[in-house]
């Protein structure tokens, strides 16, 4: 009985394993031309909306290989738009993702040409398309 008692305490004191929250993301595509004129983001949660969005980009067939088949049961598609810019050299991407109790917090990173750096004189609309974990709420910072 004395040998069983420590083993019993060990089993009782163990807690169930914590569920690991998914914080992985994959950049599917990004470009300086073709995004929205207004800065913001869009979350796509189903295949039909995703296909409509891809068709609206008016890409060449060779570029469609970049778009992976998405499992919308596990992932969402996030589109980040930097808005209209007066020159080239701008980019928007994801820096990190935090999954806080099924609330997905996306930290975006926006870059532009450095002061004094030469940039193309053309109007651009940078955007980024990424796969992010499924969540009840998505916050973009």
- Tens-digit pLDDT profile for residues 66-88: 776 889 999 999 999 999 999 88
Contact 87, 120 (CB under 8 A): yes
Number of domains in the chain: 1
At 117, the pLDDT band (50, 70, 90 cuts) reads confident
Burial (0-12, 13-18, 19+ Cβ within 10 Å), 102: exposed
Taking only the tens place, the pLDDT of each residue in 8-63 is 555 666 666 666 677 889 999 999 988 899 999 999 999 999 989 988 887 877 77
Q: pLDDT exceeding 90 applies to what percent of the chain?
A: 45
Q: Is residue 11 part of a domain?
A: no
Q: Is residue 59 part of a domain?
A: yes
Q: Is residue 5 part of a domain?
A: no
Taking 60 as the threshold, does the pLDDT of residue 110 lie above it? yes
Antiparallel, parallel or unpaired: β 137-140 and 103-111: parallel
Q: Is residue 91 part of a domain?
A: yes
Reading the block at residue 129, the tokens are 């398309």
Structural domain of 102: 18-140
């Amino acid at each position: 009985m004395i040998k069983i008692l420590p083993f019993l305490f060990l089993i009782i004191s163990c807690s169930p394993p914590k569920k690991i929250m998914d914080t992985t993301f994959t950049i599917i595509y990004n470009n300086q031309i073709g995004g929205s004129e207004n800065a913001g983001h869009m979350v796509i949660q189903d295949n039909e909306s995703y296909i409509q969005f891809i068709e609206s980009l008016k890409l060449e067939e060779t570029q469609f290989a970049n778009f992976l088949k998405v499992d919308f049961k596990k992932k969402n598609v996030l589109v980040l738009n930097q808005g209209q810019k007066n020159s080239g050299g701008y980019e928007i991407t994801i820096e990190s993702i935090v999954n806080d109790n099924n609330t997905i917090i996306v930290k975006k990173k926006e870059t532009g040409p450095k002061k004094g750096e030469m940039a193309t004189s053309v109007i651009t609309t940078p955007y980024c398309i990424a796969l992010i974990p499924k969540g009840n709420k998505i916050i973009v910072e």
